[in-house]
Structure 1
Amino acid sequence: MEALPVQFLTGHYWALFDGHGGPAAAILAANTLHSCLRRQLEAVVEGMVAAQPPMHLSGRCVCPSDPQFVEEKGIRAEDLVIGALESAFQECDEVIGRELEASGQVGGCTALVAVSLQGKLYVANAGDSRAILVRRDEIRPLSSEFTPETERQRIQHLAFVYPELLADEFTRLEFPRRLKGDDLGQKVLFRDHHMSGWSYKCVEKSDLKYPLIHGHGRQARLLGTLAVSRGLGDHQLRVLDTNIQLKPFLLSVPQVTVLDVDQLELQEEDVVVMATDGLWDVLSNEQVAWLVRSFLPGNREDPHRFSELAQMLIHSTQGKDDSPTGERQVSYDDVSVFVIPLNSQSQGGSGY
């Protein structure tokens, strides 16, 4: 990322956008999100870089207007970056909505963003891409996937508060299987928005409607249509042959994880791997870490080693006989990968 004006705060930015329903939303996000983030960071940069009171007390970032209240809330400089990322995603989503409507296009995309700033790495995720930290003796997840299953309770609660969103075509309740007419009056397991466990109920006619979330694992779909529950775009997306919109159930706000890089005793092979779901469909965190640890130590003199590692990770998903994992696993999805070295002597990061 370019140096910010006024305070000249400098950082680095990486982003992966995985499109669905066409490439339009992903292209717009790639061309827009970094500009939105820059604007949001510029709005708070004064509070991020000041090092003396009244801007900072006890290491916390303090607003000049009400320092005592900010102090009581424990607001820190990293909270301003998190807020900037959340606002940038929201702003970018609004831009995508306007642009797609104006051009008559449709589509959406997931977004996984990493920002290196002031000794910390911020990973913001909206969708089902994933980032992990790989070190010699550690594998640390830096994001969580957002799918209809992982956000079941949030989605069900929204349908509970606004039942009109389902247009009387769907049931918000979850059952272990799709119910049929023969199940009427039978006792079956179910769970609602307020439940993490399961209970029993007698099947009523309304329970036979198509479920709000149907399927399991990779086959789970929101309103029978979409496999993700967060992302950008999809403003025009509707359930097939209905006027039911999916957008109210989708969040553009990311979850942000903060990695305090300055507190790590970094080694040259310490990296962050960011990849779209196509990689993680066939490789586990442990398999990816094994490939990283197998490749990097023997290629320290290669200036392109991180880019080559990214290519190797993709190669490992293509079912080749010479796959480094020794397994013929095939991903039928698009795969994009960033390998980001954290050691200060290995600046940058490579993707493929």
Structure 2
Amino acid sequence: MFSRITGSLKRIGFNNSEQSHNKTSEKQRHVESDEESSPSCKKSNCRPERHAYSRPYFLRLSSEEEMLSRDFRERPVIVSNEPSLIPLGAGYAECINGGKSEMNEDEAAVGAFHLPTHPNGLVDAVRNIDMIDVQYFGIFDGHAGAGAALMAADQLINHLQEKLVAIQDDLFLRLPRESTASCFDDSKSKYININIDILVTGALESAFCDFDEHIAREKNMFNITGGCAAIVVLVMMDRVYVAHAGDCRAVAYIGNDNVIMAREFTPMTDSERIQAVANLKPDLTYSFFSDNYFLKPLSKKDLGTQVYCRLPHRRGWYYKEVTEEDLSKPSLVAGQGKFARLMGTIGVTRGFGDHNLVMPGTSLQVKPFLTPVPEVRVLPLSDRQVQENDILVVGCDGLWDLLTNEEIGASVKASLEQTSREKLLGQDRFNTMHPT
């Protein structure tokens, strides 16, 4: 099964780039509410760093190369010195932002493990494969420090492996019997419609949430700065799973089709969920913010006029007459596109960390409106004619801000074709020099 996947997905391209800005921070104005933000605590090193700063291990950078990678004036593109360390022949490249931070706050991780058929000595005649191979890829887009991203790159895979091990017997029971999109009715359970994709989705969601709680616990002992968006790819059982919590994106280019596997979560695109939280728990904002969402920022001249508005727990827009209360209470979400902000503070709404983030000048906690719960999408490979040059590109927001989906797909495929031609030319020269 996996020989075909390995042969078909020669490249899963990971691109990580940040758009150059001179602003203090495009994603977040970060304020810590606990003692670690105080100057005295910083001077005395109250808490040790959870992880020493480094670039992803699979890059195999020398100390000189790592220093070069921090030059935001040149912004060199860094690739792995040992590509064989990345599973499935995938490619990776990174580039530091345009000067928003001294070092690259983004991190990445890769890994591979397998789930054995009968770890407890169980034997079942319907189980006809020895193990499930799992290939793991992750990108963690850090902000306001690299602490959360470093910890995610090191620890998230452990949480995920634990969740998959817990359901491995259920996966094996369903594999031989399950046809495409079919569901398995376990005789020991009253629950139906629990198929492989739902089980793996649950494992990913649970792993993300457990890891975020892991950060919250360890912040009591360690200095874990900032937060990070997260996007994870699993290749297993003839499927590709993409779990996404943040403002990254993933696109699969299969034949002439561009399949969106993850789209950015921003205060605008995630506003329905944020409104619902504020409406159900108004004490979280001390009634300072409104849970209404107006299509445009309001000013005094809008008083008494009709403006498009969306109420909590609704999807549609309607005309609402602007009142004094609407003007006195700002919306939780304000701004448009890349400039949209949650509580005027942060430009992302999902991810890890940010447990001590407060709205500047207040004690209002932002974290209750942030969530680590990912959106999970599945790409079955068994019903597609996957070819050698079909790819999946996963990247942070900076990449997709600069290029369209079509431009990125065309660029990566052109690079792969060039590499293939160079390999063929090299083989032809070898055959000429060493005829059989």
RMSD: 2.1
Gaps of 5+ in 1: 304-352
Separation of aligned partners in 2, 1:270 and 1:88: 29
Is residue 377 of structure 2 the alignment partner of residue 254 of structure 1? no
For 1:184 and 1:163, the matched residues in 2 are separated by 24
Q: What TM-score does the superposition give when structure 2 sets the normalisation length?
A: 0.64
2:174 and 2:195 in contact (8 A); partners too: no
Q: In 1, distance between residues paired with 2:156 and 2:397? A: 20
8 A contact 1:110–1:126 mirrored in 2: yes
The whole-number CA distance in structure 1 between the counterparts of 2:283 and 2:420 is: 59
* Cα-to-partner distance string for 1:286-316 (whole Å, 9 max, x where unaligned): 111121232222322567xxxxxxxxxxxxx
CA contact (8 A) 1:171 1:211 kept: yes
Counterpart selection for 2:225 from 94, 97, 106: 106
Q: Given the alignment of the two structures, is residue 233 of structure 1 paired with residue 347 of structure 2, yes or no? A: no
Further displaced range: 207-216 or 169-178 = 169-178
Answer yes or no: is 1:86 the counterpart of 2:205.
yes
Structure 2 partner of 1:266:
386
Distance 1:85 1:52 in 2: 19
The 5-angstrom pairing of residues 155-234 of structure 1 reads 155-193=274-312, 194-234=314-354
Q: Which residue among 261, 268, 273 is the counterpart of 1:149?
A: 268
Counterpart residue identity of residue 129, structure 1: C
Residue number in structure 1 paired with 2:26: none
Q: Which of 48, 54, 65 is the aligned partner of 2:171?
A: 48
Deviations 1:296-347 (A, max 9, x none): 22322567xxxxxxxxxxxxxxxxxxxxxxxxxxxxxxxxxxxxxxxxxxxx
- From 17, 25, 47, the equivalent of 2:148 is 25
TM-score (norm 1): 0.79
State the one-letter code of the partner of 2:165. E
Q: 2:258 aligns with which of 117, 139, 144?
A: 139
- Residues 91 and 301 of structure 1, relative CA distance in 2, 3 Å threshold: farther
Query: Does the 8 Å CA contact 1:112/1:127 hold for their aligned counterparts?
Result: yes
Residue type of the alignment partner of 2:285? L
| Mapped partners of 1:115, 1:91: distance in 2 | 18
One of 270, 291, 296 as aligned partner of 2:416? 296
Note the residue ranges of structure 2 that are not aligned, 5 or more in a row: 1-111, 120-129, 424-436
User: Highest relative contact order (Cα 8 Å, sep 6+), 1 or 2?
Assistant: 2
Q: By how many angstroms is 1:9 displaced?
A: 2.3
Once the two structures are overlaid, the 10-residue window that deviates more, 222-231 or 95-104, is: 95-104
Question: CA, structure 1 residues 274+60, in 2 after alignment: closer, same or farther (shift >3 Å)?
Answer: same
User: Does the aligned pair in 2 maintain the 1:190–1:201 contact within 8 Å?
Assistant: no
1:76 aligned onto 2:195: yes
Percent identity over the alignment is: 36
Structure 1 residues 120-166: Cα deviation after superposition (integer angstroms, max 9, x where no partner): 01000001111101133111111121111001111112111111111
CA-CA distance at 1:98 after TM superposition = 1.4
Structure 2: how far apart are the matches of 1:51 and 1:192? 43
Rate the CA distance shift 1:195–1:203 in 2: closer, same or farther, 3 A. Answer: farther
Letter in 1 for 2:218: E
Q: Is the 8 A contact 1:90 1:253 kept in 2?
A: yes
Question: How many matched pairs?
Answer: 297
Pick aligned residue for 1:4 from 115, 127, 142: 115
